[in-house]
Amino acid sequence: MSLAVRQTSAAASLSASLCHSQNESVERASAIPAASSAAWRRHSGLRMVSTAGDERVAAARRPARRSRSHKPRATVSTASEQAAPAAAALRPLRVMISGAPASGKGTQCELIVQKYGLTHISAGDLLRAEVAAGTEGGRQAKAHMDAGRLVPDEVVVTIVKNRLAQPDAQSKGWLLDGYPRSLSQAHALLALDITPDVFILLDVPQDILVERVVGRRLDPATNRIYHLAFAPPETDEIAARLTQRSDDTEEKVKARLETHNANVASVLDIYASKLVQVNGHRSKDEVFGEIDSLLTRLQQGEVSFD
């Protein structure tokens, strides 16, 4: 037999052998019980593929691809989104503050308004504004002022009530500066259901108050207030033109303090449950630090005087 014939015969035999082996593998796969088919497929590296309802065996030449685990995407909140719940929880503050002349009340009011955006309401400023605007309340107040009489409580209370009802005071909260000053004024506000969240009293010893007032001087050129001991003028030229208010003498200051103390004592009885006394005989930053801490906790609901 020639070499070409022998090679052709051998190839035919090899092909027949491969086909016979494949057929045997298929027959063995068909004969495997259902319970052990999965184990057999893992062992042989074959997997069942369903086509038109029939199953056939296909060689898996590569491992099945792992399915990716889909983890939920992390959500990153913006600063404004994170602050929104806290801002929503904050509510407008209602603050009354009282202090004797030279107690630093005006300075603390400025710092409070700057930090918390409250509507600053001073009865004296309101009266002057109403008079200047010629409103009904202003005309009533002017008539008493021109006659040298005190403006009646009902006139002042009405003006204060109307101001507190304005949208800015309702939405931003309010800071009632130095009012009420008497028991009758406090009762009038209570009758109108006007109550504060807190009543802050700046407490300064009387001898310190007298020293602060007597040493005050005004620069008429700039309307700046100096103090001979605590805030002296920068130059001799400024010092030479400073003036002193006529009621800033020791005798008159003591008389004003006595009147103030008597009026405040009666008011404090009304607001005793909401009263917080703050030591005003410190630097303005130290005083405000205590007030700031109090108002922050009050606004966030950490403390309450209800």
- Whether 48 and 57 have beta carbons less than 8 Å apart is answered as yes
Confidence (pLDDT) at 4: 40
C-alpha triplet 305, 154, 180: angle, nearest 5°: 35
Radius of gyration of the chain (CA): 44
Task: Retrieve residue 294's tokens.
Answer: 């109090």
Confidence (pLDDT) at 146: 87
- Whether 36 and 25 have beta carbons less than 8 Å apart is answered as no
- Interval 94-127: pLDDT, tens: 999 999 999 999 999 999 999 999 999 999 899 9
User: Looking at the annotation, which residues are catalytic?
Assistant: 105, 181, 216, 245, 256
Q: Note if the pTM is more than 0.75.
A: no
Which of 143, 140, 142, 135 minimizes the C-alpha distance to 155? 140
Beta bridge partners of residue 128, listed in sequence order:
none
φ, ψ (nearest 5 deg) of residue 49: -120, 125
- Whether 143 and 198 have beta carbons less than 8 Å apart is answered as no
How large is the angle between the packed helices 123-133 and 153-164, nearest 10 degrees? Answer: 90
* Distance (Å, whole) CA 171 – CA 175: 13
Q: What is the dihedral of CA 222, 228, 233, 234, to 10 degrees?
A: -160
Confidence (pLDDT) at 207: 95
Confidence (pLDDT) at 290: 98
State the DSSP H helix or E strand holding residue 224, giving kind and residue range, or none if neither: strand 224-227
* Distance (Å, whole) CA 93 – CA 120: 12
How large is the angle between the packed helices 183-191 and 153-164, nearest 10 degrees? Answer: 50
* Distance (Å, whole) CA 139 – CA 136: 5
Task: Retrieve residue 164's tokens.
Answer: 């507190």
Residues of the chain scoring pLDDT < 70 = 1-89
